[in-house]
Amino acid sequence: MKHKTFIIGFLLMLCLAGCQSGQLQVVSLKVEMQENPQGVSTPSPRFSWQITSPGVDLRQQSYRIQVASSEEDLKKEKNLLWDSGIASGDESILIPYEGGKLSSGKAYYWRVKVATNQGETAWSAINHWSTALLDSTDWRAKWIGQDTMSNPGETNKGNTRLAARYLRKPFHAEKKVERAVLYISGLGAYEAYLNGKRVSDDVLAPTVSWYPEKVYYNVYDVTPLIGKGDNLLGVKLGNGRYFGMRESPTMIFGLPRLLAQLNIEYADGSTDTIVSDESWRVTSKGPIVANNEFDGEEYDARLELPDWNTAKYDDTEWLQADIMEAPGGKLTAQPNPNITVQDEITPVHITRLSDGRFILDMGQNMVGWLNINLKGKQGQPVTMRFAETLNADSTLYTANLRSAKVTDVYIPAKDGAFRWEPSFVFHGFRFVEIAGLDEQPSLSDFTGKVIYDRMQTTGRFETSNELIDQLFKNAYWGIRSNYRGMPTDCPQRDERQGWLGDRVTGCFGEAFVFDNALLYAKWLQDIEDSQSPEGDISDVSPRYWTIYDKDVTWPAAYFYAAKMLWRQYGDMEPVKRHYASMKRFLEHIQQVSMQDYILTKDTYGDWCMPPESQELIHSQDPSRKTAGAILSTTMYYSLLNLMQEFAGITGNQADIAGYKELAAKIKDAYNQRFFNTDSALYDNNTVTANILSLRLGLVPEGYEEKVFENIVRKTEVDFDGHVSTGVLGIQHLMRGLTEYGRVDLAYKIATNETYPSWGYMINKGATTIWELWNGDTADPAMNSGNHVMLLGDLLIWYYEDLAGIKNAPGSIAYKQLLMEPVFPDGLSHVKASYHSVYGEIKSEWRKEDGSFSWDIVIPGNTSAVVKLPKSLNIAQPEGAGVRNVKETESGIEIELGSGTYRLVNRG
Ligand code: BGC
């Protein structure tokens, strides 16, 4: 070793081998991207794992997977359903099962061991999964419910109103239960109990879908909940999206209905099946007298049905359950996790208003509900209204909620203490107005339950700049606020829909912070399920609002999210599954919206760009607005390029030439029509027109720098270094400015505090991201405080550029990283981590007073190319894990194997 001793102030790169504790092992075993999932329906489930070791440059050389139908068999290597044998290669993500045919409704066990350049691991821990009901004949249950609206005030017109249904079925289990599995769907939403205990902590299940095409059911292993003797299966049914919130434009599909089948296997080998049918009892006279996702839940404790979900309850007053029509869609095992309570927060402040009402401040705009532990008076309603902000006089600001009443009501059955939270609603709120209390409550009487789809938080991000950090927090809260079995636009007003345009690029940025793979994969299915017979994509999917506008910019999310799932998680399935439907969409649009190779139809423009007056929602000034044809043509062009990639990976090579040819013609026509070669600007020279053309590859060769200069001039001169784009342009702004050498301007935009900017929102008290740059002054008809679409590519820029955590070109799922951080003046420290499918990636750099250090962690079975500029004066490193070092024109390029490293400068 040349550099045996480290000289102070001189390079060094130090491989901290040994920092990663523990031994060589396989961890984080997953089937179809979940740990021990229940109800997997694919015939070839895919296995993934991670490998760790204390050493550096860990590479997998082969793997061996074994599968059996019991743990004992697996341990004894008897009756194996699959033994992959030693399969050489470094694949450790989404390896498909290739064993014997899997049976319906069974549990399977698996383990894996791998050989690496550092030796062989032991067998992993044994993990398991269960199969769904794979054949429609496995279902014997019928859809049931109460087919009448029998309570006063109930209506399916206007603002709908309906009480929850309670359903119950007693059964006997005389023998020892070996395994019991509940297969259940309840539309719009259900809560299931066995002998008074919830079967899971999932809420608002099942996941939403376009019911005429698809109905999801859940699978729960309920073995421990079944006792010997009398048992009771009870289910509460809420309205959810099935008995929709408004007669129009949100759809109403029908009255709530339940499908449930409990399959019991006894120790002696016999079986029993309890199914939903006309033998069940039902009532709608229980305490949940109304539940409407927009308007709130009303709970009358005087109508409680004590022990209704246990065997001892007498249900003679209840009705016989009605057989309901099946909802129509294909009954499908839910591939994505349900919503659960993912976090809890306590309020920070209570104010008493002069009329005796209280205003609770949660300190954070959040989504979920309030758990209350209060004292009440018999029959005196405690009313809670929820909102995102307050008026100047400290009262609740509800104007931006439009027609959503967002009000929960609890009526106590007796004087004294009670604890309550709703079952079938959620609210987007920071503030709660509480009426009907005689005593001042204290902060500890309240818990904010934060709900969204069960998923791991994958990213952390901190820097030396407080605003950059606060913005990350706002984004984090905004994203988790808008995952509801689909990515929604907003969680508070009478909308809450899966608007596609909000997520085109956003889904990628979000993936750094949350493991959103299964949510987005499921949403792509909603999009396909909502496609028109002609091939058009609904701008809202599932199409509770059906919008077939023959436009491009919103439907583009279908393609971009599929690409995100492939590049971020290595999941190629969504691209394969939806390729034909994507192709149909492109052909349809070509037919109906293309004239002379220009895409003519566009609905939304560069939605929510900052208008000339802060009172406006949308700009009226033609010089600020980007022409619809620019937006749809550039986006359509980018979709043709994506489709060429997709065709390549799905075995549709024959399509590539056609997409290429059409793309070339579009590029030509577009430039002829919109590009001014003398001034190198597009159309009316908006930043959006220029940046989309540049980043999506339409600028004629040789003009790129000039177009970029126009973007910079416009931003610096006309907008004083501020953002001038809406939802479309912002998707490329931060990366575009950085890629062409103006990271300083990107950084300025990220840290601006004056209007329009993210910092402006924060200065005005935002704890999430607003729908409008001027959300504080524009018309309340459209000023949600919790929309994520204006994040654009900000989070991608945080990770890829500020932290230098980026897929190398051609790399999938960070198998190879390209770590090339940028160092804007004014930023001296960045500390980021991202939990990729291979393991945790870390990057933490410090640059102050001439010294530089960078700590990085590269997960096992991956590698990184690290690039740093000459100006940092990094000397050539060597040692374990350093695969290659190159001095280049611009700096140093180092190839590293997995491990923990520190780079420092020469001083
Ligand atoms: C939604 C947006 C959506 C837009 C499209 C709004 O009402 O909240 O997020 O993309 O409409 O028109």
The pLDDT averaged over each successive group of 10 residues in the chain (907 residues) is: 30 38 90 98 97 96 98 98 98 98 98 98 98 96 97 96 98 96 98 98 98 98 97 98 92 96 97 98 98 98 98 98 98 98 98 97 98 98 98 96 98 98 98 97 98 98 98 98 98 98 98 98 98 98 97 98 98 98 98 98 97 92 97 98 98 98 98 98 98 98 98 98 98 98 98 98 98 94 96 98 98 98 98 98 95 97 97 85 93 96 89
User: Which tokens sit at 4?
Assistant: 């045996």
Beta bridge partners, 144, equal 258, 323
Ligand 1 atom closest to the CA of 603, numbered from 1 = 12
C-alpha 501 to ligand 1 mean position (Å): 8
CA angle (640 as vertex; 634, 643 as ends), nearest 5: 140
Q: What's the confidence (pLDDT) of residue 907?
A: 65
Tokens of 13: 């790169």
Helix, strand or coil, per DSSP, at residue 748: helix
Q: Which atom of ligand 1 is nearest to the CA of 554?
A: 10
pLDDT value of position 250: 82
Q: If 0-12 CB within 10 Å is exposed, 13-18 middle and 19+ buried, where does residue 201 land?
A: exposed
State the residue for tokens 């901290």: 16
Structure tokens at 651: 């075995």
Q: ∠381-387-393 over CA atoms, to 5°? A: 95
Pick the residue whose CA is nearest to atom 2 on ligand 1: 489
Helix (H, G, I), strand (E, B) or coil at 441: coil
Q: How far is CA 71 from CA 46, 49, 126, 128, in A?
A: 19, 19, 7, 9
Name 224's Cβ contacts closer than 8 Å, sequence gap at least 6.
none
* Token reading at 807: 């897929």
Packing angle of the helix pair 517-529, 556-569 (nearest 10 deg): 150
User: Of ligand 1's atoms, which has the minimum distance to the CA of residue 782?
Assistant: 7
498 alpha carbon – ligand 1 mean position (Å): 9
Q: Which of 520, 580, 483, 430 lies closest to 788, judged by CA?
A: 483
pLDDT of residue 840: 98
Contact criterion met (CB below 8 Å) for 490 and 786: yes
**Tokens representing 560?**
């971009």
Pocket test for ligand 1, best of 484, 488, 499 (most atoms within 8 A of CB): 499
Residue 482 CA to its chain's centroid (Å): 8
Q: Are 281 and 168 in contact (CB under 8 A)?
A: yes
Task: Tell me the angle at which helices 730-739 and 687-695 cross, rounded to the nearest 10 degrees.
Answer: 70
Q: What's the CA gap between 271 and 767, in Å, rounded?
A: 54
CB of 95 within 8 A of CB of 77?
Answer: no
Q: Cα(538)–Cα(557) distance, rounded to whole angstroms?
A: 11
Phi, psi of 91 (to 5 degrees): -70, 130
Buried b (16+ CB within 10 A) or exposed e, 131-161: bbbbeeeeeebbbbbbbebeeeebeeeeebb
Q: Residue 884 has which token pair?
A: 């290659």
Tokens of 830: 């960045």
Q: Report whether 485 contacts 522 (CB < 8 A).
A: yes
Residue 565, pLDDT score: 98
The two structure tokens encoding residue 331:
């009954």
Q: Please give the model's pTM, rounded to 2 decimal places.
A: 0.97
Q: Which of 250, 537, 607, 790 to mutate to test the pocket of ligand 1 (most atoms within 8 A of CB)?
A: 607
Ligand 1 center to residue 592 CA distance, Å? Answer: 24
Mutational test site, ligand 1, from 502, 545, 603, 788, max ligand atoms within 8 Å of CB: 502
- Cβ neighbors of 313 (< 8 A, separation 6 or more) are 168, 232, 305, 306, 307
The pLDDT assigned to 678 comes to: 97
**Burial status of residue 844 (CB atoms within 10 A of its CB: 0-12, 13-18, 19 or more):** middle
Closest residue to atom 4 of ligand 1, CA basis:
499
Tell which atom from ligand 1 comes closest to the C-alpha of 501.
10
**How many angstroms does the Cα of residue 607 sit away from the middle of ligand 1?**
8
CA 668 to CA 662: how far, in whole Å? 10
Backbone dihedral region of 623: left (phi > 0), alpha (psi from -120 to 50 degrees) or beta?
A: alpha
Name the residue at shortest CA distance from atom 3 of ligand 1: 499
pLDDT of residue 4: 30
Query: What pLDDT was estimated at residue 18?
Result: 34
Cβ 778 vs Cβ 613: under 8 Å: no
The end-to-end CA distance of the chain, in Å, is 22
Distance 788 CA to ligand 1 centre (A): 11
Which atom of ligand 1 approaches the CA of 784 most closely? 8
Residue 298 CA, ligand 1 centroid: distance in Å: 29
Query: How far is ligand 1, taken at its centre, from the CA of residue 502, in Å?
Result: 8
What per-residue confidence (pLDDT) applies to 157? 95
C-alpha–C-alpha distance, residues 882 and 899, integer Å? 10
Ligand 1 binding site (Cβ under 6 Å of any ligand atom) = 489-490, 495, 499, 501-502, 604, 607, 787, 789
User: From the CA of 780, how far away is ligand 1's center (Å)?
Assistant: 14
The pLDDT, as a whole number, for residue 10 is: 32
Q: Residue 394 C-alpha to ligand 1 middle, in angstroms?
A: 29
871 CB-side CA count, 13 A:
4
